[in-house]
Amino acid sequence: MARVKLTNVKKIYQGNVTAVHDFNLDIADKEFIVFVGPSGCGKSTTLRMVAGLEDISEGTVEIDGEVVNDLQPKDRHISMVFQNYALYPHLTVFENMAFPLRLLRHPKMSQDEIYRRVTEAAEVLGITQYLNRKPKALSGGQRQRVAIGRAMVKDCKVFLMDEPLSNLDAKLRNQMRAEIILLRKKIDTTFIYVTHDQTEAMTLGDRIVIMKDGFIMQVGSPSQVFDKPDNLFVAEFIGAPKMNIVKTNLVKEGSKYYVTPFGSKILVDGEKGDELKKRGYDSQEILLGFRPEHTVLAKKAEGACHATIAVNEMMGSELHLHVVTDDGAPVIIRVPTIQLNDKEREEMVAGKEIYFTFEGKVMHFFNPETEVSLFYDEPVTLEEVNEKVEEIKKDVKELKEKE
């Protein structure tokens, strides 16, 4: 139960390879935060710096108001679950879970208390019947539960999880994901969870930190990063199948905005249109993004885009159509199968020509050079706020003097 604050944290490996650049994040008490990004983006390194398993090259890490840069992992009051479980093979499940408790000194924990805590955790995780087994005799899912149990028994300030589900098969992963959500309510502490899977990030996190090449690309709630991605990377990373991106023109006609992808002309309406107007954008080249699930099949009509199906993926509840437009751009369209009758479903095969369209209110606009969203606001820094405060104070003072 603690606030974790990372200030200008950097990790530079020998040979000047910078794994993490200037990482700033304030994690609130009892928040569930998820670091997500492709492999090699520095998310695990950052977590390990919080854990004390990696040295911090620059910057500070604070846990509960205390700078922990030079503290050993054992003195940081953290628990951690590892990707490969890291269970002690020579100890039984009970002893594995009791291990952190037996190491406690000042005060030493009584045998009864150890027994109580381990059995309690085992009950929560449903592994009571395996307590006398060695890890070797457990399945992957059971081992992961033991690993979580071992992290649970100790009172910790921060609960760290380093890709805990990536070694499980897909079905078990979904099940464990749901269990982690339930578990979180029981443990009630600050969580930092690392994953490369955007579904896990979206379902688990209060806030998601999306990273790339050691930089934070965006920090926000799951709906924020999904609906309002700050940049192209976040837009493409979050959501499956990934967002369609096309280079096109934003055209201003009077007070209305249009986009012209694939030779069509689509009105930008709703909030997005208002926002463009408010920010005073003029006609310009942009990268237009629209999600496969927001794309709909259309009848041949003005404004609809023409394309040919290249690949169809039947997912059961939905159909993923990989189509190629007339100018050769690949687009993915997600069609719920319930909208199609049997005949239509059979017709949706490679080579069939279709029309599709999408609405203005679901569009995303990015600057083609910087790849930053047209709606992105630089975050206000503390200095700027302070400056503003000083200005106001000055004004107030002047006013008073005038009076």
Partner 1 sequence: MSEEEKKVVAQEATNNPTAGEVSVNSLAYTTGQEVVKAEKKEKRHMGLKAKRILGNTVVYIVLVIMSIIWLAPFVCIVLQSFRCESTWMTGYIIPHKWGFDNYVRLFKNTKFPRWFLNTTIISIATAALQLIIILCMSYTLSRLRFKGRKALMNAMLVLGLFPGILGMIILYRILADLNLTQQNAIPGLILVYTASSGMGYYVSKGFFDTLPKSLDEAARVDGANRAQVLFKVILPLSKPIVIYTLLTSFMGPWGDFVFARYVSFGTSDGMNVAVGLQNMLGSAGSINANYTTFCAGGVVVAIPITILFMCLQKYYVEGVTGGAVKG
Which residues bind to partner 1, rule: CB under 8 A? 51-53, 72-74, 78-80, 82-84, 86-90, 99-100, 103-104, 150, 154, 160
Of 84 and 339, nearer to partner 1 (C-beta) is: 84
Beta-sheet strand order (sheet of 4-13): 17-27, 4-13, 58-63, 66-67
Residue pair 356/309 in contact by the 8 Å Cβ criterion: no
- Strand duo 78-81 + 4-13: pairing: unpaired
What's the min distance (Å) between Cβ of 73 and partner 1?
5
Tell me whether the omega of the peptide bond preceding residue 241 falls within 30 degrees of 0, making it cis.
yes
Maximum Cα–Cα distance across the chain:
83
Of 15 and 89, nearer to partner 1 (C-beta) is: 89
What's the min distance (Å) between Cβ of 199 and partner 1?
25
What's the min distance (Å) between Cβ of 11 and partner 1?
15
Helices assigned H by DSSP within 153-269: 170-187, 198-204, 222-227, 232-237
Of 86 and 267, nearer to partner 1 (C-beta) is: 86
The residues, ordered by sequence, that sit 6+ positions from 370 with a Cβ below 8 Å of its Cβ are 231
Residue pair 25/219 in contact by the 8 Å Cβ criterion: yes
Residue pair 191/78 in contact by the 8 Å Cβ criterion: no
What's the min distance (Å) between Cβ of 57 and partner 1?
14
What's the min distance (Å) between Cβ of 75 and partner 1?
9
Give exposure, 82-92, as e/b (b: 16+ Cβ within 10 Å). Answer: bbebebeeeeb
Of 82 and 215, nearer to partner 1 (C-beta) is: 82
What's the min distance (Å) between Cβ of 120 and partner 1?
18
What's the min distance (Å) between Cβ of 107 and partner 1?
14
Of 82 and 355, nearer to partner 1 (C-beta) is: 82
Q: Dihedral through CA 370, CA 374, CA 380, CA 384, nearest 10? A: 80
C-alpha–C-alpha distance, residues 225 and 36, integer Å: 12
Of 88 and 115, nearer to partner 1 (C-beta) is: 88
What's the min distance (Å) between Cβ of 82 and partner 1?
5
Residue pair 149/125 in contact by the 8 Å Cβ criterion: yes
Q: How far is CA 185 from CA 160, 189, 221, in A?
A: 15, 9, 18
Of 43 and 154, nearer to partner 1 (C-beta) is: 154
Of 44 and 248, nearer to partner 1 (C-beta) is: 44
Token pair 């339930």: residue:
182
